[in-house]
A and B are shown apart, each in its own frame.
Chain A
Amino acid sequence: MTTTATTGLTEERVLQLRADFPILAEQPAGVPLVYLDSGATSQQPRQVLEAEWAFRTRRNAAVHRGAHTLAALATDDYEVARDRIARFVGARPTEISWAMNATDALNTVALSLAAANRAAVVDPRLRIREGDEILVTEAEHHANLLPWQRLADETGATLRWVEVDDDGVWTADAALAAITERTRVVAVAHVSNVTGLIAPVEQLVAAAHEAGALVVLDACQSVPHRPVDLHGLGVDAAAFSGHKMLGPGGIGVLYLAEALGAALPPARVGGSMITTVTMTEHEFLPAPQRFEAGTQPVSAIVGLAAAVDYLEGVGMSAIEAHEVALGERLALGTASIDGVRLVGPRPGEERAGLASVIVDGVHAHDVGQLLDAVGIAARVGHHCAQPLHRRLGVAATTRASTYLTTTEAEVDRFLDALSGVRAYFGAGR
């Protein structure tokens, strides 16, 4: 195929990239693997594994501590990694701090806001009181819902949400209408992990800032798949996970815009984040170290920087175009199968490179089992978005998510297998 050759990735290029991913040659179910679960976790290219190996075998040491040369080399790698990741998302290095994963990063924001509101003197920009509002959407991943539920409980604020329609889609108009002068935090996913819907972030930021609210972006499904410029978007905080962007597990990123990073107290305290400590008092380092209590997973951070290098080498715009084309192919293909209901934007409407479906009369786990039997690794379940699934009227959906290594042929194999599911289970009989 050549349709996206100018802006996306040619088939030849994709096949070349695939050779970098050892796991794609595996046959866990005894047949060639069709990996359509990058939305849950992505696979790692050799370059990332080698970068980690090289660090661990040649430069490993505790960073920002001690005076020996190895420690200096490790510290250098560590801070260079931060610089690269900052550049990758259009941020300053001081705005990037490490987390375990996106869930951890989102918790850090909510817990820090709770801590700020427990302080004797509350910074007015961070103040959340009874009667104030925290706004999310009905489609959020639990990682971007539960921390806000708890923060609302702790501060007496009201959690509000933008409702979705029968397809699981919410509109900019509804979201903008829900932002009031009482709104203190707006927390949304940039790209939904279930519907592939892309949030109108700039509009939300403009309205939220007008109302004096902070905007927290769950960028888990955007940063790995498309160019993201956090300064351009203007959000106050953002979170994403390394394991979803070709990087290792155990490392996530918390972006705190300079002003918020300077105002927010740390949720966790301890070593590596202080200037002076006495038996009764302590003084914190500025961001980002302030949010990095304890020893960080340095080799994973080095691996994540290598992942970013790899992604930049391929080109984020090309990856985006490639996946958008595959997402549209998935949407069109699934929507045309009898008894299969596509969730999210309709074919032809903007969507990311993933699609979730409901197979009429067949539970998603049975769908997943049948797909697995022909080598297709898709995700079935509630995708950590139970409220969304409840609204859709099902307990689980089946999701295919693509990445830079996904081919059109793989999408077609998924569509082909999906179209045989109802007959296999005798649905509609």
Chain B
Amino acid sequence: MSDAPRDPLAGLYQELILEHARRREGEGAIEPFDAERFLRNPTCGDEIRLRVRLDGDAVDALGWEGQGCSISQASASVLAEQAPGLSVAEARERIEAMRALLRSRGGVEAEEALLGDAVAFAGVARFPMRVKCAMLAWVALEEALTELDAR
């Protein structure tokens, strides 16, 4: 991070995050779909409805609708960009890596190779109150995959 001018938010709002929050990749309800999850963060009211469709053992498509802060919206957008084409196992691995990154309080180095653009959320780890915002879409996908596993 450069020393001047100091960003008081210490890299929380990376340009990539703000850009994704505006772009909203993957927004919309896909049809058909295999599983749907609706999640709400009761403390701040962020909400997401996420649908996923599988093709064999791979994520074929992911769509979401929701409202909330730029962190939650951007993280849904990044997820929607990354998930299609991943195998279910790869998607789970990536969700775990994202969780580790966000819970690290800035301690662990991001697994850049694995997370791609999602490393932009590294700054969120220093703002514990925002971790749930950044994880919302990812947890929705995780739960949707778990539901599909159980079928």
Contacts and interface: CB of A to CB of B under 8 A. Distances in A.
A381 B43 CA distance: 8
B45 A366 contact: no
Counting chain B residues whose Cβ lies within 8 A of the other chain, the interface size class is 20 to 34
Nearest to B40: A395
Interface stretch (B5-13, B26-34, B143-151): B5-13
Nearest to A374: B8
Contacts of A425: 13, 18, 21, 70
Interface string B66-98: 011111010000000000000000000000000
A83 to B, nearest CB: 40
Counting chain A residues whose Cβ lies within 8 A of the other chain, the interface size class is 20 to 34
B16 to A, nearest CB: 13
Given A396-B45, A426-B22, A365 B69 contact: yes
A429 interface: yes
B108 interface: no
Contacts of B12: 369
A365 B133 contact: yes
Contacts, number: 50
A395 B133 contact: no
Contacts of A363: 67-70, 73
Interface string B32-71: 0000000000011111000000000000000000011111
B127 A369 contact: yes
A426 B18 contact: yes
B103 interface: no
Nearest to A427: B22
Interface string A394-418: 0110000000000000000000000
B130 interface: yes
A382 B43 CA distance: 9
Given A366-B70, A369-B12, A386-B45, 17 more contacts: A363-B73, A365-B44, A365-B133, A366-B13, A369-B127, A370-B9, A373-B8, A380-B44, A381-B43, A381-B45, A382-B45, A395-B44, A395-B45, A396-B45, A425-B13, A425-B21, A425-B70
9 contacts: A362-B70, A363-B70, A363-B73, A365-B130, A365-B133, A366-B69, A389-B45, A395-B47, A425-B21
Interface of A: 31, 362-366, 369-370, 373-374, 380-382, 386, 389, 395-396, 424-426, 429
Interface of B: 8-9, 12-13, 18, 21-22, 43-47, 67-71, 73, 127, 130, 133
